[in-house]
Amino acid sequence: MNKEKIRYRLWWELLKRSKAYKIFCEVADHKELGEEFIPVAAQEKIVEYFAGERRKFFEKEYDVNINDFIKIYSFWGDVHQNDFDYWWGKRGRQQISKTKTTILNIRHDLKTLSNLAQLSLLNSLEHTDRKAFGLEDIKEMVDLFRNYFSSPDNQQYLYLKVDIHSKATSDEIGREILRLRTQQKKESKIGSRTTRLREEIELYLKVYDEKEKNPEKPWANIISNIDIPADKGNCREKRVLEKYYDYWDKAKSLIKQVEHNHFPGSNQK
């Protein structure tokens, strides 16, 4: 399974644990993945049900926003009535491909950037007598775009098509590009840590599911059911109990984040 699909599967699994989103899906009551996830009939149900005081109560009770849920539902649909692989094959992969920026022509595609980026690039292009961009310019662009493209619900890859005119050799340019890419991966919330990210979140969800099934069960018993040998034999020790309570807390935090359309969040560092 490719890294992108792994990340979206984790997102799907977290969203399935949201009690508030489950209620929202039941209200929308639209199981099939059609051309649009929210057809008119489902929209009418949502608007009618979440009106007035009921909406206020729901949003306060679950600390969510109906507008966020509408955006989430338009992308994911009903995660309880549909299978992830089915969603990925029919809708997910196509939806995701539409959100990526592949090649950006900075002279003609400035409308895709923020106002700050537009002004800065226009100044570089039109108000100087330079005819080309060097490596230092590219570094500045990376810094400039970082904030614009770094919101958790809008992670995108940006490839700049820029002719490089420099006294540096091709090997030197190649090494510098590799260095910048490596640095970007280290700074990324996900980067090359997809496997570890999956292992972490799957463990958090195992603990969360065990606690949800048996809220009154002692933590020592829950740890035994998770069946990690190194912890199972020491399941009554304070350090182990605190570790598993932290796993449970992280799972709840991640579920809350996906309710607000953010992933993976600040717990994976």
What is the pLDDT at residue 246? 93
Could you tell me the two tokens for 6?
A: 């792994």
194-218: pLDDT as tens digits:
677 888 899 999 999 999 998 999 9
What's the burial of 154, exposed, middle or buried (CB within 10 Å: 0-12/13-18/19+)? Answer: exposed
Give percent of the chain above pLDDT 70: 61
Cα 125 to Cα 79, 135, 136: the distances in Å are 47, 15, 15
144-177: pLDDT as tens digits:
555 545 544 444 444 444 444 556 666 776 777 7
Could you tell me the two tokens for 207?
A: 């603990």
Q: From 239, 244, 241, 266, select the one nearest 253 (Cα to Cα).
A: 266
| Ranges assigned E (strand) in the chain | 103-104, 159-160
Q: What is the dihedral of CA 126, 129, 132, 136, to 10 degrees?
A: -90
107-138: pLDDT as tens digits:
444 444 443 344 444 444 444 555 555 666 66
